[in-house]
Every structure is written in C-alpha cells, then in structure tokens.
C-alpha cells in the first residue's frame, strides 16, 4: 500500500516538474471562466494510469490538487476493501484504482463511465471519463504503453467547441464593459453639467454609475493584462492580488449601490409617499463603506488559507465571503421591488387623480428588474443541457457585461426629462448665438407663440426621474421662492411664482410670471406684464425701418 502511494507521488512529481510549455493567448484566454463559471487551465488530449493532466507548476494549486488526489485514493482503497465480492455471472474486470479514479467490478464487454474528477482546474467535471472492460475480463490496455488505460480525453477543458464558446464569452466581456464604460461616462457628464437634473435620486444614479465605470476598468485591465500573461501569473506579483481585491470591492459596491437605489425608491414610494429629503450619508455608508468589510475579510482569508497565484482559482468556499452579502443585497432588492409594485397598484386603484405619476413610477420600478440583478434570484442555476447551457451563458453574460450600458441607456439617454433638459440647453445656446442677428417677430407674434407653448407644455408632462409635486400651484410657493434665475442682462424681475428664467437679455422688465412659466429668451426692448401657466420660448422685438 505504502509503496504504491509513493510510486504515484513520484509519478506526479516527475510529470509536474517537466519543462513548462509556453503559454499562448488562445490557451490563457480560457481563464476568462474565472469571471464566468470556473477556471480552465491546460491539460493534454489524453491520459491514462501513468499520464496525469498537465497542471502549471503553481506551488499552492499543486499542493491542493495532490491533497485531493491522495484523499480520493484513500477513499477508493477503503471502498474496495468494504465492498462485497462480485455477485454477477460470467467474466468481469476487477475493481481498481487507475491513478485518478476508482472503478468498481465491471462485467466483461462493458464500458464503464463516471464524471471526471475535480482535482485540478483543467478538469471539466461535467464531462465523463470511460474505461472499457474487454470480453476476456481484462481492462483495456493501451497499444503503445501496454498498460491499463482510461480515456480522460473528454475531460479536456480545451476542446475546439469549448474554445469557440470561450472566445465568444471573452470578447463579449471586453466589448460589453467597453461600451458600458463609454456610455456611463457620457451619462455622468450629462448629470453633472445639467443643473436642472440635480436631485437625490440622480445623486444615487451618479454614484452607481461610477461603480460600474470603475469595475469595468478593472475587469478590462484584468482580461487584457493578466489573463493572457502566463509569466505574470507565474511570478505572482502583489499588484496582481491588489487588482483582484479592488475587483471584488467594486463588484460589491456595484450591487450595494443597486440596493441603495431600491431602498431609496422603497422609502420614497412606500414609507414617505413621494416625499424627498432623505439623508444621503446613510446611502454613502451603505454603498461605499459596507462592501469594504467582506472584501477585506476575503483578502485576509485568501492570503492565509488559499493563497494561490493572483487569486485566480474559484475552487474555494472563501468566495462566499463576497458572494454571500451580494446575494443578500439582491434578495433584499427583490422584495423591495415586489413591495413597491404592490403599493403602487394599490395607490392607482385608490386615487385616479395622480395615477399618471404612479404609472411613471411603476415603469421606473419595472426598469429596475435588470438593474438590480433580479435575474440571479429568479434563475440562479445553469441548465445541464449543453445547448440550453450555452444559451444561458450567452444571455446571462450579456446582461452582466452590458449591464452598465443598459443602465445608461434607460436612465439617461432614453429619459424624456434628460432629453428635454438637453434640448433646453441647446435652445439657450442657439438663442445666445443668434442674439442681435435675427429679430423677426413682434409682440403679437410672441404672444401667439406663448399660447402655443403653453398648450404644448400641457400635453407633455415631465417624466418621473426626480420626484415632482402635482401640477397644482403649492400654497407656500410665493414671491421668488422656487424660482431659479440663471443669467439676466439689463433686466429687472419684480415677481416670479414657480418660474425659471433662463435668459433675459437687453432692456427687459418682467413684472409678474405666475404658474409654471419658463422664460428661455427675452431679447430686445421687451416688457412682460403677466404670463400665466405658459412657457415663453422666445420674444424678440425689433425696430422696423419706415418705408416713408
């Protein structure tokens, strides 16, 4: 027994210490599955009782794999001693340990099979290893080595079909995170530059967008610099593990800021009934501070208990230190979503007056489904069928890697309030550009334009991005309260109620602007006495030359 174990260990050492094959981009790209399902290092196309899979000589993973192998061997010998003798009729092959797997007594002429062992990451445990018992009751022997042979070919994690799927997922990850990063940066610039969009919920958007951007940057660096670089992984520099720490931290921040979004909507709709003014520092603590705890705990535990090269291996339960809180945040967000929908449906039935804003909130809540990662709660398991498994991988990884892109499109580019704010700023730019060059309308025409603008305003209510009160004039909104004056040149404003004056240029005097009025441009020598419930887009007064 002891001599057999020593012989197996010596064979392992001889195989693992042979000259290292040069890494190629094709082979190392497959370690992308660290981010997806499982790691995939390299192994040969066949194996038998004397040829073991080729694990790269990473000391820690070698020790872990050897320990698992010795434990499996001990269990096999113990099992062979406890099993009763073969009870069947006719010839059979004796139970045996082939160096990697344990085989029971098998009738002659039978092909025995079992799942590939999971000692090393280059084994695909979902595939099968086979061993044939010949008609004369002897295990099949390989014609070249003339010794008993087991077929581990299907255990190879690098078959052409798997290579093709891995390439698709690899480039899908790079393209998805690149597009997410670009669109999110543009969205952040819009949210920071457009002051009319400033509110607490947009502040949450900006912080969550920032976590997406930072996480995408880290993942792209890892995929481009670490995954294809076998020499870097072999050297195992500290910065490699620091990068992994920040990846885990930013991923946790991503999901916890998703939780902040759900918590904010739940507080706004269910608890405070559409009233803003929540304390933001709680959200900063939850979104940025809390993820530090599991990330730091995981890094310490990984360094002490499972210190593999660059912390690439996922063959450790220590990852639950990260994944546990993340799954907790996702489940909590899922219940927030259900409760928000329940409350909104109830409010719509009870109050028809404000049903429009409630419907907007319902739509915003339903958009949160992919945002909050509820897909992991609804469909957490990968199908075992090969075709369904590929479809699942493609759909799930598309949602994961393009999540930032979808968030930017839904919450920024396709939002009508953002579009209106950008259009308003564009009109301001054009008004300033054309100031002094085009003056073609009189006051009568301006009044007609005012009425038309008021009618258009009534037809296009604002989208629900920031909380907005009903259209009725608030009782406490008097004088210049709730009014924002951005620039005024040579103008005098006497009284404004619920009005926003964007630009008043020239010798203009605004006596009273009441209701939902917005003066975008008043040019020339104009005097606005009263504008009620209207949006004044442009009023231009020119002096016409007399024809006399």
DSSP 101-153: -EE--EETTEEEEEEPP-SSTTB-TTSEEEEEE-TTS-B-B-TTT-SB--B-G
Residue 193 three-state SS: helix
Confidence class for position 273, pLDDT limits 50, 70, 90: low
Residue in the block written with tokens 């009508």: 416
Q: What is the pLDDT of residues 134-144, one digit of tens each?
A: 999 999 998 88
Cβ neighbours for 217, distance < 8 A, ≥ 6 positions apart: 181
* Backbone φ, ψ for residue 34 (5° rounding): -60, -35
Q: What are the structural domains, with CATH classification, of the chain?
A: 88-157 (4.10.1240.10), 160-425 (1.20.1070.10)
Under 8 Å between Cβ of 96 and 89? no
- Cα–Cα distance between 331 and 525 in angstroms, integer? 62
Under 8 Å between Cβ of 521 and 502? yes
Q: What is the pLDDT of residues 341-356, one digit of tens each?
A: 888 778 777 765 555 5
If you ran DSSP here, which 8-state letter would residue 306 be given? Answer: -
Element (H, E) at 81: helix 59-82
- Cα–Cα distance between 20 and 322 in angstroms, integer? 34
- Cα–Cα distance between 104 and 86 in angstroms, integer? 9
pLDDT of residue 291: 95
Q: Which residues of 49-87 are buried (b: 16+ CB within 10 A; e: fewer)?
A: bbbbbbbbebeebbebbbeebeebbeebeeebeeeeeee
Residue 270, classified by CB atoms within 10 Å of its CB into exposed (0-12), middle (13-18) or buried (19+), is middle
CA distances from 87 to 91, 92, 107 (A): 11, 10, 10
Structure tokens at 295: 């990330």
Residues in the chain: 548
CA distances from 535 to 152, 457, 514 (A): 76, 7, 10
Structure tokens at 519: 């003066």
Q: How many CA atoms lie within 13 A of 100 on its CB side?
A: 30
Confidence class for position 539, pLDDT limits 50, 70, 90: very low
pLDDT of residue 449: 54
How many whole angstroms from its chain centre is CA 466?
A: 24
Max CA distance (Å), the chain: 127
Q: What is the pLDDT of residues 394-431, one digit of tens each?
A: 888 888 889 889 888 888 888 778 888 888 888 887 77
For residues 230 and 361, the model is more confident at 230
Q: What is the pLDDT of residues 296-321, one digit of tens each?
A: 999 999 999 988 888 888 778 898 99
Residue in the block written with tokens 């001990």: 74
CA distances from 335 to 139, 328, 377 (A): 57, 11, 11
CB atoms within 10 A of CB 40: 25
Confidence class for position 285, pLDDT limits 50, 70, 90: very high
Q: What is the pLDDT of residues 54-68, one digit of tens each?
A: 434 445 667 777 888
The full DSSP string for 342-408 is HHHHHHHHH-STTHHHHHHHHHHHHHHHHHTTTHHHHS-S--SSHHHHHHHHHHHHHHHHTHHHHHH
- Cα–Cα distance between 363 and 191 in angstroms, integer? 21
Beta-bridge partner residues of 509: 492, 527
Residue 540 pLDDT > 50: no
pLDDT of residue 327: 86
User: Among 191-205, 394-408, 517-531, which stretch is predicted with the lowest mean pLDDT?
Assistant: 517-531
């Amino acid at each position: 027994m002891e001599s057999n174990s020593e012989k197996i260990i010596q064979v392992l050492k001889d195989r693992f210490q042979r000259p290292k094959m040069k890494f190629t981009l094709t082979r190392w790209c497959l370690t992308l599955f660290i981010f997806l399902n499982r790691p995939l290092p390299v192994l040969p196309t066949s194996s038998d009782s004397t040829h073991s899979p080729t694990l790269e000589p990473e000391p820690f993973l070698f020790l872990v794999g050897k320990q698992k192998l010795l434990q499996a061997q001990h269990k096999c010998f113990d099992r062979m001693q406890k099993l009763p003798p073969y009870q069947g009729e006719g010839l059979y092959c004796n139970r045996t340990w082939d160096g990697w797997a344990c085989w029971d007594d098998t009738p002659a002429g039978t092909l025995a099979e079992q799942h590939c062992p999971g000692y090393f990451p280059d084994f695909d445990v979902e595939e099968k290893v086979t061993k044939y018992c010949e008609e004369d009751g002897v295990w099949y022997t390989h014609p070249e080595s003339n010794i008993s042979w087991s077929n581990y070919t299907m255990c190879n994690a690098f078959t052409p079909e798997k290579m093709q799927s891995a390439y698709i997922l690899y480039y899908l990850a790079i393209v998805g995170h690149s597009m997410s990063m670009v669109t999110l940066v543009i969205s952040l610039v819009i949210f920071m530059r457009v002051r009319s969009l400033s509110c607490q919920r947009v502040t949450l958007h900006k912080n969550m967008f920032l976590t997406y951007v930072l996480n995408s940057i880290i993942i792209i660096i890892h995929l481009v610099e670490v995954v294809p670089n076998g020499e870097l992984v072999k050297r195992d520099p500290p910065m490699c593990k620091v990068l992994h720490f920040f990846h885990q931290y930013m991923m946790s921040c991503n999901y916890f800021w998703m939780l902040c979004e759900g918590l904010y909507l739940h507080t706004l709709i269910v608890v405070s009934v559409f009233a803003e003014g929540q304390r933001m520092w709680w959200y900063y603590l939850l979104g940025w501070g809390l993820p530090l705890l599991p990330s730091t705990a995981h890094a310490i535990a990984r360094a002490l208990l499972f210190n593999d090269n660059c912390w690439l291996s996922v063959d450790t339960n220590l990852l639950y230190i990260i994944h546990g809180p993340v799954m907790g945040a996702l489940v909590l967000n899922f219940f927030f979503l259900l409760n928000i929908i329940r409350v909104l449906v109830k409010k719509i039935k009870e109050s028809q007056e404000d049903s429009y804003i409630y419907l907007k909130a319902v739509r915003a809540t339903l958009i949160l489904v992919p945002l909050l990662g509820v897909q992991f709660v609804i469909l957490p398991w990968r199908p075992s069928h090969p075709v369904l498994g590929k479809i699942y991988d493609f759909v799930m990884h598309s949602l994961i890697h393009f999540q930032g892109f979808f968030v930017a499109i839904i919450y920024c580019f396709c939002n009508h309030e953002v579009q209106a704010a950008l259009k308003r700023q564009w009109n301001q730019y054009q008004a300033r550009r054309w100031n002094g060059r085009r003056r073609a309308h009189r006051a009568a025409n301006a009044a007609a334009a005012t009425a038309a603008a008021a009618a258009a305003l009534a037809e296009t209510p604002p989208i629900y991005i920031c909380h907005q009160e009903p259209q009725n004039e608030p009782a406490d909104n008097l004088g210049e309260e709730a009014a924002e004056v951005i620039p005024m040149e040579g103008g005098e404003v006497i009284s404004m109620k619920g009005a926003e004056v964007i630009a008043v240029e020239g010798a203009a005097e605004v006596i009273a602007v009441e209701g939902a009025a917005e003066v975008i441009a008043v040019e020339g020598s104009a005097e606005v006495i009263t504008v009620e419930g209207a949006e004044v887009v442009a009023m231009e007064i020119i002096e016409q030359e007399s024809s006399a």
